[in-house]
Structure 1
Amino acid sequence: MNAELRYEGVPGSALDRIRRNRHDDSGNSVVPRRSEGGEPLRCCLTIAAAGAEIALVAYRPMAVGGPYAEVGPVFVHTLDCPEPDTGSFPIDFRDRRAVLRQYDANGQMLDGVLAEAGTAETELKRLFEDAAVDSVQVRNVVAGCWNFTVRRQG
């Protein structure tokens, strides 16, 4: 199965709600701070430039419930930012090592793969050859934090 893939960060509706309410869905206040540079932003799927106004918020990337529906820390811009290009692998994440966790449509984890720097995009295409894979979460190797979710287009 040769699938076209979609790369999803924190949805705009969730970002709007968090920014408007000044707290995340777990009740943590949005505390703006200046980026030191290098923080992975889950709103626009880029790496923060030094001095950008960002916040660390709690976010649950999995829409279906269950034991794998984790809430974890993610960096986002505190103000509007450009929507990510959902049709291509985020360029700022290409040269990073990543954990790729595959999930079925019920939110059950099927497996996990460690992708070395520069190989995640190829690994994702291989993982989606399995029809049972509904989504793959791309995660930070050291902290385990969610970076973005990948799904088949359409």
Structure 2
Amino acid sequence: MNTELSYEGVPTSELDRIRCNSYDDFGNAVVSRTSEEGGEPLRCCLTLARAGEQITLVAHRPMTVGGPYAEVGPVFVHVADCPAPVADGFPFDYRDRQAVLRPYDVAGQMLDGVVAEPGTSETELKRLFEDPAVDTVQVRNVVAGCWNFTVRRQG
């Protein structure tokens, strides 16, 4: 089984639309705020915000297929363009965080759920993708349940 994985935040096309229109796809205005202490999980570049960065909280639906799991939730993103996520494995700033991993099939139905302890998410993801029924895995915040990013097989 191919375990080369891609890690995807909010799509660039959606970010461009939000930044251009000054509101998200659900009608919420883009309100710039300064990250005071840093640490907010940014779903655009898959890093944690640094103190002083301009960020905003918008609504995003990470599931591209419909169905009961196609929920909309809050995500932090940079107000202005930022670099794309680095494509060399599990996002560095998220490696030492506890996470909920939710695998879904191609129809968008949740198959399982795993709480990954700090430092184990990448290993747990590879194990989940050993199941050929798994199409994507959403990595989520343990406390708030917010979507952090989506993982899928490459190729």
TM-score range, shorter chain: over 0.9
Corresponding residue of 1:81: 82
Q: How does 1:1-154 map to 2 (within 5 A)?
A: 1-36=1-36, 37-154=38-155
Q: For the residues of structure 2 that align with 1:125 and 1:4, how far apart are their CA atoms?
A: 9
Deviation at 1:85, TM superposition (A): 1.8
Q: Deviations over 1:22-79 (max 9, x none)?
A: 0000000000000120000000000000010000000000100000001000000000
Instruction: Decide whether the 8 Å contact of 1:7 with 1:87 is kept in 2.
Output: no
Unaligned residue ranges in structure 2 (runs of 5+): none
Deviation larger for 68-77 or 86-95? 86-95
Instruction: Decide whether the 8 Å contact of 2:2 with 2:153 is kept in 1.
Output: no
SS of aligned partner of 2:150: strand
Amino acid paired to 1:151: R
Instruction: Decide whether the 8 Å contact of 1:5 with 1:87 is kept in 2.
Output: no
Amino acid paired to 2:74: P
SS of aligned partner of 1:110: coil
Instruction: Decide whether the 8 Å contact of 1:54 with 1:75 is kept in 2.
Output: yes
Q: For the residues of structure 2 that align with 1:40 and 1:145, how far apart are their CA atoms?
A: 10
SS of aligned partner of 1:14: helix
Matched residue pairs, number?
Answer: 154
Deviation at 1:2, TM superposition (A): 3.5
SS of aligned partner of 2:124: helix
Unaligned residue ranges in structure 1 (runs of 5+): none
Which of structure 1's runs of 4+ aligned residues deviate more than 3 A? none
After superposition, the CA RMSD in angstroms is: 0.7
TM-score, normalized by length of structure 2?
A: 0.98
Deviation larger for 85-94 or 40-49? 85-94
Deviation at 1:87, TM superposition (A): 4.1
TM-score, normalized by length of structure 1?
A: 0.98
Q: Deviations over 1:71-112 (max 9, x none)?
A: 000000000000002341100000000000000000000010
